[in-house]
Amino acid sequence: MTGSRQSATPARWALPIALAVAAVALQITGGPEGWRLERAVVLAEPWRLVTGHLVHLGWSHLLMNLAGLAVVWALLGPAMTAGRWAATVLACGAGVSLGLLLLSPQVPWYAGFSGILHGLIAAGALAGFRRLPGICGVLLGLLAVKLTVEQFLGPGEGTARLIGGNVIVDAHLYGALAGLACGGLLILLDRSRPA
């Protein structure tokens, strides 16, 4: 975990700001079609493995994900170093992309940051559990309930209307699983270091 002095610095927000700038830049280009993670063209256009997580269905979809990122960062940002957060973003993005491509053949394409966001919640709550067990325990519990409801009942219709398209609940599940794996690995690494 980072110290309280480092967690109070504006530099702590560098990663979410960079992600937000990249997402807004892609949104300005006109939408998801050329950037989304698309099964049919991903081998010919591998950049979509990254850009698919940064482009959104519309401005409301983008703003919802950026608001979620800001809340996660405000609550859990101090739980890990910037380097660990960056690695977690990459690992969760890879987990969502590979999960959708290999395990969800019914999903032809995906756009949005929500899969990674679910992973960040999982990893951050695990990493911050020793420091804030109450908040992190509640976050992990709520995440588990949300994922279970989505898998068995599907997404809420209101969310689909708000973002302007289908909610890909499998992306949330794969992101959360990747985040749990990252958070667990980081805990093991910390415990294996000599005191």
Identify the structural domains of the chain with CATH numbers, from first to last: 4-192 (1.20.1540.10)
Using a CB cutoff of 8 Å and minimum separation of 24, what contacts does 142-151 make? 143/118, 143/176, 146/172, 147/118, 147/172, 147/173, 147/176
What is the tens place of the pLDDT at every residue in 66-104?
A: 999 999 999 999 999 999 999 999 999 999 999 999 999
Asked if residues 179 and 88 have their Cβ atoms less than 8 Å apart, the reply is yes
pTM reported for the whole predicted model: 0.92
pLDDT above 50 (res 35)? yes
Q: Which residues, including other chains, have CB under 8 Å from residue 194's CB and lie 6 or more apart?
A: none
Residues 6+ apart with CB under 8 A from 195: none
Identify the pLDDT of residue 8.
Answer: 52
Q: CA 156 to CA 159: how far, in whole Å?
A: 6
5-26 per-residue burial string, b: 16 or more CB within 10 A, e: under 16? eeeeeeebeebbeebbeebeeb
How would you class 148 by CB atoms within 10 Å of its CB: exposed for 0-12, middle for 13-18, buried for 19 or more? exposed
Quick one: average pLDDT of 35-57?
95
* Residue 193: pLDDT band with limits 50, 70, 90: confident
pLDDT, one tens digit per residue, over 108-130 is: 999 999 999 999 999 999 999 98
